[in-house]
Amino acid sequence: MMHEKWVEAAGTRTRYFDIGSGDTVIVFLHGGLFSDEGVCHNALVFEQSLPGFAAAGLRVVAFDALGHGRSAAPTSDADCSVPGLVAHAEAVIGALRLGSVHLAGHDEGGLVGLRLAFKSPQLLRSCVIIAGRAVVPAGDPLSNLTLAAPLQPRYGRAAQAWVLERQSHSQHHIHAGNFLEEAVAIAADDAFRGLRARIEAGDLLRRYMRPSLGRARLDNWKRFREDGVPVPTLLVWGGNDPICPVQNARSLFGLMAAKQRITQLHLIGRAGYLPFREQAPAFNEILGGFVRALEQTRSAKAA
């Protein structure tokens, strides 16, 4: 069972889920861009995959990012940004005393993981980027087109399901589990409404988030060319992703693999933007195999 827990991470009350046991820890971080695309993303988006990893003998932790889900909003407007999200992720890992972890991030969560790998490589045993639209060189014109003219009211059940339908290839997962229910409940919460009002009144995404995304992308490409990613890297993409097509994944792989020898790209058939929900067994097999291989190498070196 997944039961929510709470931790203070650098002053931010943060919700997280922690299941399984062992020295090998995979931390999962969702995307969502402060819910700007119409879905209240939170840690439960990984609910289809986490129990399988725990059953396989791994400890898995998933938390609500700063200003997402049930975690507290940023105290500073400037923290509605990539650096703000990175600092919070680092604080969560520290507050939970996880040591070095494998960090698996979806879209913007993958960007946060990559930036943390550059900033504090000692914290990460690997960086896993899932459907990393925020990381790829090409930007997101397809998502802008795919998600145009959303349903109203914007964060109602039908509207959030509409976004998930357009992001997915296999839609069976949308009403499965508790993710959509939780996303709808979050949208009705005063804390979420207050943060959205603050973001819109202060134009915070235009002033802070989007410029920080651009700066992070430019710095990523510079680092890819010069020194490479300092930790092993796995890219996982849905083969039918309507938001960030696989050709973008292949371009990203080429950039990253040039300097980091342990870089892999895996495509999952019959899956779109949410492969860990749409094809959870295949996703778990890929990520689990990658992590186990790295841990075996790590143990052999320590022996």
Which ranges constitute the DSSP H helices of 96-176? 108-119, 141-146, 157-167
Q: What is the pLDDT of residue 203?
A: 97
Q: What is the mean pLDDT of residues 84-105?
A: 99
Residue tagged 């399901």 (tokens): 161
Q: What is the pLDDT of residue 143?
A: 57
Q: What is the pLDDT of residue 147?
A: 82
Q: What is the mean pLDDT of residues 28-50?
A: 97
CATH of the domain at 272: 3.40.50.1820
What is the percent of the chain where pLDDT is above 70?
97
Q: What are 222-241's pLDDT values in tens digits?
A: 999 999 999 999 999 999 99
As for how many domains the chain has, the answer is 1
Geometric angle at alpha carbon 128, from 126 and 132, rounded to 5°: 145
Tell me what percent of the chain is helix, strand and coil, each rounded to the nearest 5.
50, 15, 35
Kindly tell me if the per-residue pLDDT of 101 is higher than 60. Answer: yes
Task: State the angle between helix axes of 108-119 and 210-226 in degrees (0 to 180), rounded to the nearest 10.
Answer: 50
Strand ranges, E, within the chain = 5-9, 12-19, 25-29, 59-63, 101-106, 124-130, 233-238, 263-268
Kindly tell me if the per-residue pLDDT of 82 is higher than 80. Answer: yes
Task: Show the domain range for 244.
Answer: 5-302
Three-state DSSP class for 81?
coil
Residue tagged 């925020």 (tokens): 134
Cβ atoms 269, 281 nearer than 8 A: no
Q: What is the mean pLDDT of residues 135-144?
A: 68
Residue tagged 């119409």 (tokens): 38
